[in-house]
Chains A and B, each alone.
Chain A
Amino acid sequence: MYVAVKGGERAILNSYALVDQARRGDPSVPELSLDQIRQQLRLSVDRVMCEGSIYDPELAALAIKQAAGDLVEAIFLLRAYRATLPRLGYSLPLDTADMQLFRRVSATFKDLPGGQVLGPTYDYTQRLLDFSLAASGAVAEIDASDAAPEVGPVPRVVDLLNHEGLIETHEPGAGDPDPRDLTREPIAYPADRATWMQNLARGDEGFLLAMGYSTQRGYANSHPFAGEIRYGMAELVIEPEELGFAVSIGDIEVTECQMVNQFGGSKSQPPQFTRGYGLAFGASERKAMAMALVDRALRADELGEAVEAPAQMQEFVLSHSDNLEASGFVQHLKLPHYVDFQSELELVRRMRTSGAPAADASEPAGEAA
């Protein structure tokens, strides 16, 4: 039963104005421009694009500004905007072997054709607060004088260094099927790998991080190595029907992670390294790595492993990964539930008077306002 609540129009309208003022802060401080957000909060922009599931840095910057920096709220804004747009088509699969690389490292292969390129990473910084930034610090210069420019694309390490065939390979299934699309049809269990990849790609980074972490701590039999992490620009290629040929209409930044996991073998497969895969819009390395760990854990069934840990359980992982859904359901609890609460209050009173616990006291009641 849902019981509507009336009233509060003036208070709600005033709260709009108040949240607007709170977002702006002290008007004597210059206002943030979208360019400033795009340029100086680029990792926030990337996360919002990734989980908002729309690649457009300008829109993501706008959402961050409007949400006063609350990234989950910004993701909500982007998803809501998304729902107003027509679908104009599908891209050809991104060719991540042909990316222009800004960063590329491997924890398994020391000597890589194409080299290990650290790129713009916080990994080797000392994590000491830099107080010079508090007074608009100057940007460090880069000594690129003796850097020999690389020529041509740099293939993926895992494909390149798999001479002995000890790492599993991935080929498209028969007929290279088109994946189901979670934005068009709801998820159905058991979901196939392509479907869960879409779910994870738009899933909450914090949730995936915790799930991935749990697999490392023993809640799934996983021994992962970061086979390769690459961050750079891949071409966006579409094939409009009215042209009849494919055109590359822009570049999008992505981070790709190939995890390799030791695998003892099963009845159908020899001992080898299996793979987990992560791919995310922007410079989203933590997300891509966590996604790869969770992807591998979700393959337990396929690889004949016992499904014992939360990260291996499809329904658990895939139904709780979306921060829009999670945030909505958790936060709806603060909306008026007066009638609901009143009925439970009556119940508790009756239980007290009768002295015996009611049999259905723990049954969740239907939703009421």
Chain B
Amino acid sequence: MFFLYNLERQVTLHPSYFGRNMHELVTGKLLKDVEGTCTGRYFIITIMDTFNISEGRILPGSGLAEFTVGYRAVVWRPFKGETVDAIVTSVNQVGFFADAGPLPLFVSAHLIPPDIKFDPNATPPQFTNNEDSVIEVGTHVRVKLIGTRAEVGGMYAIASIKEDYLGCLQGN
């Protein structure tokens, strides 16, 4: 699910950048450091704006200036039970891998409807029910997240297409 979230971050700036456009530089550095990262609970998709840049404080010893920046960001936190769209990246006999934006997920053969079977002889290998559903690399699928796990710098999810309205999107 997407959220608009108020966040705060310490940004340091090298003394050589001290000057008139310091605030722009701080914002730029913030964007560079933060956008697209995963905190372990959510992904920071984009920064809307910075609403508060504190006065800089010189760090003793290094001379770097430290700013506390308050900003508003769009974050995405995948929840268990959430339905997301994803693109298949790899297919094998155990199941298939897909990416829902920054989130890599895996759909195991258990969580695929029994009529959709793995066909190793097809090129490329695919899951298919020999009708409208063909799941191969590049297919858009709609999946439901069954479980998620976070690590530093990344998240993983297990998903299912064994429910109504889930699965291959290309047929529709």
Query: Do the two chains belong together in a single complex?
Result: no
Interface residues of A (CB under 8 A from B): none
List chain B positions with a Cβ less than 8 A from chain A.
none
